[in-house]
């Protein structure tokens, strides 16, 4: 009788463990579905979260407007049948059309995340023209000076130009002031000094955080 009790107790333990394991797996799968299964659409904007150091951190230091929007790169999603690409300007490769999987892989390797934003319904009619414009800019080199130039582009500059004819975004006076000190950020002082250029404080430009703050966009999830 005692052996039967022990065996029955063991069976109950196995059943409980099995049920808990199933629940944990289900919760993980649901969480992954919420975070990864965003139904991507043509013209979606992919924002890459900023790192805390180096160029990424320096960009974010002088452009971050709120804690919920902290980005240092952006690209435009283009769907061609069953294939998806990202149109963007990056230091490696300049203005390019990159397979979405490769784009995501590059960001993950750097420990960054990709957030998906979308034009609000009333503005989505401009997407085909913007994607066509972006296609026409492919092949141009990357703008390492971050000063507007017709012959080279940086990431947010590339996207702003793609949508410029429809006034989705706007250029604003750039600032390189560290909000904590009220003085020009040391990184940018050295950055432009090495190029024998004056810090372009106040000149028109754009940045990923500024574009993310547009009232014509809505955030739909993360990839």
Share of the chain above pLDDT 70, in %: 75
The candidate with the shortest Cα–Cα distance to 143, out of 126, 156, 128, is 156
Q: Give the per-residue pLDDT at 111.
A: 84
Residue 179 binned pLDDT confidence (cut-offs 50, 70, 90)? confident
Q: What is the pLDDT of residues 184-200, one digit of tens each?
A: 999 999 999 999 999 99
Q: Give the per-residue pLDDT at 59.
A: 53
The candidate with the shortest Cα–Cα distance to 172, out of 130, 214, 127, is 214
Instruction: Please state the rounded mean pLDDT for residues 97-103.
Output: 97
Mark 33-72 as b/e (b = at least 16 C-beta within 10 Å): eeeeebebeebbbbbbbbbeeebbebbbbbbbeeeebbbb
Q: How far apart are CA 71 and CA 140, in angstroms?
A: 23
The candidate with the shortest Cα–Cα distance to 212, out of 74, 114, 61, is 74
Burial class of residue 74 (count of CB atoms within 10 Å of its CB; 0-12, 13-18, 19+): buried
Q: Give the per-residue pLDDT at 26.
A: 44
Q: How far apart are CA 89 and CA 134, in angstroms?
A: 10
Residue 28, pLDDT > 70, answer no
Q: What is the pLDDT of residues 80-99, one digit of tens each?
A: 999 999 999 999 999 999 99
Give Cβ neighbours of residue 160 (< 8 Å, ≥ 6 apart): 169, 171, 206, 211
Residue 20, pLDDT > 60, answer no
Q: What is the pLDDT of residues 133-168, one digit of tens each?
A: 999 999 999 999 999 999 999 999 999 999 999 999
Q: Give the per-residue pLDDT at 204.
A: 97
Average the pLDDT over each of 4-13, 24-33, 118-127, 191-200 and give the range with the smallest value.
24-33
52 or 53, greater pLDDT? 52
The DSSP annotation for 50-83 comes to PPSSHHHHHHHHHH--BTTB-EEEEEEEEEETTE
- Identify whether the C-beta of residue 131 lies closer than 8 Å to the C-beta of residue 162: yes
Q: How far apart are CA 185 and CA 11, in angstroms?
A: 65
Please provide residue 77's backbone torsions phi and psi, each rounded to the nearest 5 degrees: -80, 135
For residue 117, give the H/E element and its range.
strand 114-119
């Amino acid at each position: 009788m005692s052996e039967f009790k022990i065996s029955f107790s063991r069976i109950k333990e196995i059943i409980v463990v099995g049920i808990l394991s199933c629940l944990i797996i289900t919760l993980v799968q649901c969480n992954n579905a919420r975070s990864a299964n965003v139904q991507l659409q043509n013209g979606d904007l992919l924002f890459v979260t900023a790192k805390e150091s180096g160029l990424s951190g320096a960009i974010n230091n002088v452009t971050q407007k709120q804690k919920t929007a902290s980005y240092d790169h952006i690209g435009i999603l283009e769907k061609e049948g069953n294939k998806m690409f990202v149109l963007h300007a990056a230091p490696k490769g300049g203005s390019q059309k990159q397979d979405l999987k490769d784009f995501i892989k590059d960001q993950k390797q750097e420990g960054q995340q990709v957030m998906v934003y979308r034009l609000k319904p009333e503005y989505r009619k401009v997407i085909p023209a913007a994607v066509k414009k972006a296609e026409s800019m492919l092949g141009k080199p990357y703008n390492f000076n971050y000063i507007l130039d017709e012959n080279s582009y940086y990431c947010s500059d590339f996207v702003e130009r793609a949508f410029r004819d429809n006034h989705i975004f706007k250029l604003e006076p750039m600032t390189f002031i560290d909000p904590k000190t009220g003085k020009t950020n040391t990184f940018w002082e050295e950055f432009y000094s090495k190029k024998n250029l004056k810090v372009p404080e106040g000149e028109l430009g754009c940045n990923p955080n500024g574009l993310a703050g547009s009232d014509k966009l809505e955030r739909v999830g993360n990839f």
